Structure 1
């Protein structure tokens, strides 16, 4: 009897070992699921323990049926590009990441899986920094010309800009300050062009811009800020100097004036002495 029990125990252990060997390892659960989106190019990322398993991503919006993506079936890397699948930008999407193994029959149970947080591209996609130029209108005004950032999305053979997607929701925040000053002023423009007026003539101003979408939640309203671009002062204008610089200029002018006066006095003395010497030599000469 004891021998029979030992044989049964050995068989169970052997079967378990065979199953474990066939399965390889416990399927890793996807973790740290995140949406990474810039200018409406959207990639789903996650982390998982190294294994031989693959991942398949499905997505849904507004509690509709789950849809699979041909490019996101049996992935070996923990990321999937869903840009083309999220073509209806102003909808809230959820993804389901499943961990799959060819050694398991999933008809008897669901695979390991993780849901993503909800994501709305129209309200949450980050916006990159815009490029812009500055043109002088008059001595107190400049025109800021902004180029809308381009997305990687094409419609009818046209590459869309962020304005093509956001339309009237897109505005720009223009922040500017006088060179050497810490005070900043902001201007909100509904368009990609804006005239900034009431500037001090002859002064240098520095500008930077960012996309601004006030219809979004506050955390995602502002895009990335551009680098600073500064105006050039008009040739021939007198730029503002610091107090130290003015003192230096005044000191130089006084020094030059003193030198001129000193040289003039010395020249006059020399001329006077020469005339006196000449007069004395003439009067002392014998007749």
Structure 2
């Protein structure tokens, strides 16, 4: 993407990584359309000039509202160059424990919300012949963990969708980056989390151990929020968009271990894979 001031749209801006990204952008003199379920949480941000910040209420589970906010942001600011799809939350607990409503809400927020956002912004980016979509995923998009099955499902889905999207829109001059942060102290483990009702059958299992750490606030977080926000903004302004961006030493370690293990398992099964071809292939 060319140098110079850009206009950004950031969802989930009230706290955590979204808030840190908005703060970083304003410090760099960029124009930001910041959305949140409660935009009043952004009232203490007072950029100079004030025109650098435009805010709107947005719940990403509402597809019609997504389109309206995107169109309103373009009308107010003239255009959008970079979209940071950050809104999301964590659901902790065993897959069996999650209620139907919890599953649906997690999927609507973490997976279908980003899909609808991409659909809403793409016509505007295509019309300009350039742009970036930054989708916040997680190390859970590359490696699963007990006690986070539904959350991991949404992040795996996000990665598949945006990897495919990247290939679809490259010819339009639009880059796509999937960000995979490791652990970082945000509201994700505090007010931003949801925990399932525990079933006695899972007592003493890894699910229960994770639940205890999350509920007690004993989750170890290595990442520096401001540094991650800076790295995301830097990546979005590179001439070529990286498809994936891992942030944090734990993300690097866990993703590398997972990919290495999967590759080793694939090689062990090579003879089976080849043996199932048709004889005339």
- If the TM-score is normalised by the length of the shorter chain, which range does it land in? under 0.3
The TM-score normalised by the length of structure 1 is 0.25
The TM-score normalised by the length of structure 2 is 0.25
Instruction: Choose between structure 1 and 2 for higher RCO, CA contacts under 8 A separated by at least 6 residues.
Output: 2
Q: Which has the larger radius of gyration?
A: 1
Name the structure where strand makes up a greater proportion of residues. Answer: 1
Name the structure where helix makes up a greater proportion of residues. Answer: 2
